[in-house]
Structure 1
Amino acid sequence: MTIITIREARKEDLEILLGFEQGIIEAERPFDSSLKEGKISYYNLEEMIFAENVHLIVAVAEDEIVGSGYLRIEKSGSYRKNELNGYIGFMYVKPNFRGKRISSLILESLKNWAKSKELKELRLDVYNENLAAIKSYERFGFNKSLINMKMEI
């Protein structure tokens, strides 16, 4: 059995992380017809590695980076009871490592970091049709909260 460890992302991980980003985008294209064709980018990963309000981590199997995720500390809306929340994103696990609960290890590490920062709430976005991801997040303890709707005109 392969042991999976979690560590903070480093600048030398950038090339792998950029590949993960493209993997996420390709996985999400079927759920979002508004995404541009060709190579696009969601994140400034290099900036995120060094940001004070972002905890960008990787999952490692032996010497291979096999997954990623981040938690960004955000201001909540003035109408929310918690002034700050932790926003989770960049969740990715290499296809040949899926089904091994690596995303749960990543989420647990992000949750622990959020607790160390005294955050009381975690949030994330997931496509409504991405049933595998929704199931994984629900298994971890997330609940559906709000549906974001769109219409092309």
Structure 2
Amino acid sequence: MKKMIIRTASIEDLPILLDFEQKIIEVERPMDPTIKQNEKINYYDIGAYITDSNTEVVVAEIDGEIVGSGYGQVRDRKRFFFPQKKGYIGFMYVKDEHRGKGISQAIIKYLCHWFQENNLHEIRLTVYEKNPKAIRAYEKAGFEKHLVEMRIDLNNK
């Protein structure tokens, strides 16, 4: 494989990152009937995240081409939890033609190091149960299932 680097995203990367976000939404829409289907939506405020000191947006590059992304974010927890802050990982994306090359693992490793530098020792993320490839990638990185979110659609009962 050609040399891959993981680096902090810059505002100049925003057009590519916004495209990645739309690709994530496109994949996840069929997994979640509550996502609006016929309009452009955004999950993230990526531009604000890039400049936020509590968020580290990163990109993976191979030979100068951005092929993946992710972010780590410091989040407050409810007062009855300890520690008071946790890490959260989101916006994980790797271009189709670069999947299976360890890019998501490299992004997660980079973000874990960033969390450690910020004295955070617990990281959480959410993933659709209907996304087994992503679940396997996170499990490979050491994540374990912790909570199960359930839903019911009363209109279809």
Same fold (TM over 0.5): yes
Q: Report what 2:69 is aligned to.
A: 68
Other structure's SS at 2:35 match = coil
Q: Report what 1:92 is aligned to.
A: 93
Amino acid at match of 1:20: F
Q: Distance in 1 between matches of 2:80 and 2:2?
A: 45
Is residue 7 of structure 2 the alignment partner of residue 3 of structure 1?
Answer: no
Q: Report what 1:12 is aligned to.
A: 12
The Cα of 1:66 is off from its aligned counterpart by: 0.3
Q: Distance in 1 between matches of 2:34 and 2:118?
A: 35
Identify which range, 62-71 or 78-87, moves more after superposition. Answer: 78-87
Q: Distance in 2 between matches of 1:131 and 1:79?
A: 32
The Cα of 1:81 is off from its aligned counterpart by: 1.9
The Cα of 1:78 is off from its aligned counterpart by: 1.8
Structure 1 outlier segments of 4+, above 6 Å: none
Is residue 39 of structure 2 the alignment partner of residue 23 of structure 1?
Answer: no
Q: Distance in 2 between matches of 1:50 and 1:91?
A: 18
The Cα of 1:22 is off from its aligned counterpart by: 0.4
The Cα of 1:65 is off from its aligned counterpart by: 0.3
Q: Percent same amino acid among aligned pairs?
A: 45
The Cα of 1:151 is off from its aligned counterpart by: 1.5
The Cα of 1:152 is off from its aligned counterpart by: 1.9
- Alpha-carbon RMSD across the aligned residues, in angstroms, is 0.8
Amino acid at match of 1:14: L
Is residue 111 of structure 2 the alignment partner of residue 110 of structure 1?
Answer: yes
Other structure's SS at 2:124 match = strand
Amino acid at match of 1:53: N
Amino acid at match of 1:93: V
Amino acid at match of 1:35: I
Deviations 1:39-90 (A, max 9, x none): 1100111101100100000000011000000011001222222111001000
Amino acid at match of 1:78: R
Other structure's SS at 1:132 match = helix
TM-score normalised by the chain length of structure 1: 0.97
The Cα of 1:129 is off from its aligned counterpart by: 1.3
Amino acid at match of 2:93: Y
Q: Which runs of 5+ in 1 are unaligned?
A: none
Other structure's SS at 2:89 match = strand
